């Protein structure tokens, strides 16, 4: 059977290695620090507001997150935060930035299996330094023939990357934990997408499941181990036996 797919692309954070769970721990620490001023749920809401406001200034990543935590603390305390407390928040940021990269269980095995048949690409968004360091620490870099670190993953970004690779959207399968960034824009372009949910999703990445004609090019699986199976299913849909 001819292989209809020329590139299998993977997201990094929460698809190949843990990420959001570390941010959740950091958020909990900020909530504890600001407890005398505001209740936890409210801190969470305010931090998210500040992050969204700053996204177009800082982009995604741990450094922008750290600055947003400081800004939130300044707002919540009406400027009464002490130098010691700023140092504590910087320490929370360092905790995120220096946290060891832990690949998701089964990620290496799934990548190894898939890499035998076709080129794999990593398509991840965020801070260049952060993402390069995570990839190096994950020990997965050798499995990718193409690595792309971008500041946002929308249809225009995918289109640009695919043009550069000389790959048509229908020849791409994207694998990721975010419906918002990894699935919907790819389906919109005419590509295929496999959603592997992570147990925590950042509010910004939450989106509804695809509907209508796109569903034929979409699959949702519980674990990265199930990606090779989903890919076989896609192949059968393109070239029925
Ligand atoms: Mg992700």
Per-residue pLDDT tens over the stretch 101-155 = 999 999 999 999 999 999 999 999 988 899 999 999 999 999 999 999 998 899 9
Predicted model pTM? 0.91
The Cα–Cα gap between 99 and 92 comes to 11
173 Cα: distance to centroid of ligand 1 (angstroms): 15
20 Cα: distance to centroid of ligand 1 (angstroms): 8
The Cα–Cα gap between 175 and 238 comes to 18
Percentage of residues in the chain having pLDDT higher than 90? 85
202 Cα: distance to centroid of ligand 1 (angstroms): 9
Q: What is the DSSP letter of 166?
A: T
235 Cα: distance to centroid of ligand 1 (angstroms): 24
25 Cα: distance to centroid of ligand 1 (angstroms): 17
What is the mean pLDDT of the segment spanning 11-37?
95
220 Cα: distance to centroid of ligand 1 (angstroms): 15
179 Cα: distance to centroid of ligand 1 (angstroms): 9
81 Cα: distance to centroid of ligand 1 (angstroms): 33
67 Cα: distance to centroid of ligand 1 (angstroms): 21
Exposure of 80 by Cβ count < 10 A (0-12 exposed, 13-18 middle, 19+ buried)?
A: exposed
**Phi, psi dihedral angles at 102 (to 5 degrees):** -115, 110
162 Cα: distance to centroid of ligand 1 (angstroms): 19
β-strands 120-125, 7-10 pairing? parallel
14 Cα: distance to centroid of ligand 1 (angstroms): 5
pLDDT of residue 14: 95
The Cα–Cα gap between 218 and 213 comes to 10
Is the per-residue pLDDT at 239 higher than 90? no
23 Cα: distance to centroid of ligand 1 (angstroms): 13
80 Cα: distance to centroid of ligand 1 (angstroms): 35
Closest by CA to 195, choosing from 153, 226, 160, is 226
Query: CA 203, 138, 67, 92 torsion: positive or negative?
Result: positive
Q: What is the DSSP letter of 179?
A: I
pLDDT of residue 241: 63
213 Cα: distance to centroid of ligand 1 (angstroms): 25
Q: What is the pLDDT of residues 60-75, one digit of tens each?
A: 899 999 999 999 999 9
pLDDT of residue 1: 55
- Rounded to the nearest integer, the mean pLDDT of the chain is 93
């Amino acid at each position: 059977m001819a292989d209809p797919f020329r590139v299998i692309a993977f997201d990094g954070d929460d698809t190949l290695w843990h990420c959001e769970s570390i941010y959740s721990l950091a958020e909990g620490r900020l909530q504890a620090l600001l407890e005398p001023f505001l209740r936890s749920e409210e801190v969470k809401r305010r931090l998210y507001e500040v992050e969204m406001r700053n996204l177009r200034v800082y982009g995604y990543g741990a450094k922008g997150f750290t600055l947003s935590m400081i800004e939130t603390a300044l707002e919540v305390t009406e400027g009464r935060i002490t130098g010691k407390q700023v140092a504590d928040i910087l320490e929370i940021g360092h905790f995120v930035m220096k946290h060891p990269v832990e690949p998701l269980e089964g990620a290496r095995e799934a990548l190894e299996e898939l890499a035998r048949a076709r080129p794999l690409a990593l398509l991840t968004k965020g801070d260049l330094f952060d993402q390069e360091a995570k990839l190096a620490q994950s020990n997965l870099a050798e499995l990718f023939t193409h690595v792309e670190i971008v500041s946002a993953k929308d249809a225009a970004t995918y289109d640009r990357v695919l043009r550069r690779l000389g790959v048509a959207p229908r020849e791409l399968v994207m694998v990721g934990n975010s419906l918002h960034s990894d699935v919907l824009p790819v389906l919109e372009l005419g590509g295929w997408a496999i959603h592997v949910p992570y147990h925590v999703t950042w509010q910004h990445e939450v989106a509804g499941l695809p509907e209508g004609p796109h569903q034929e090019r979409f699959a949702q699986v519980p674990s990265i181990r199930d990606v090779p199976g989903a890919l076989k299913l896609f192949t059968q849909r393109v070239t029925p036996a």
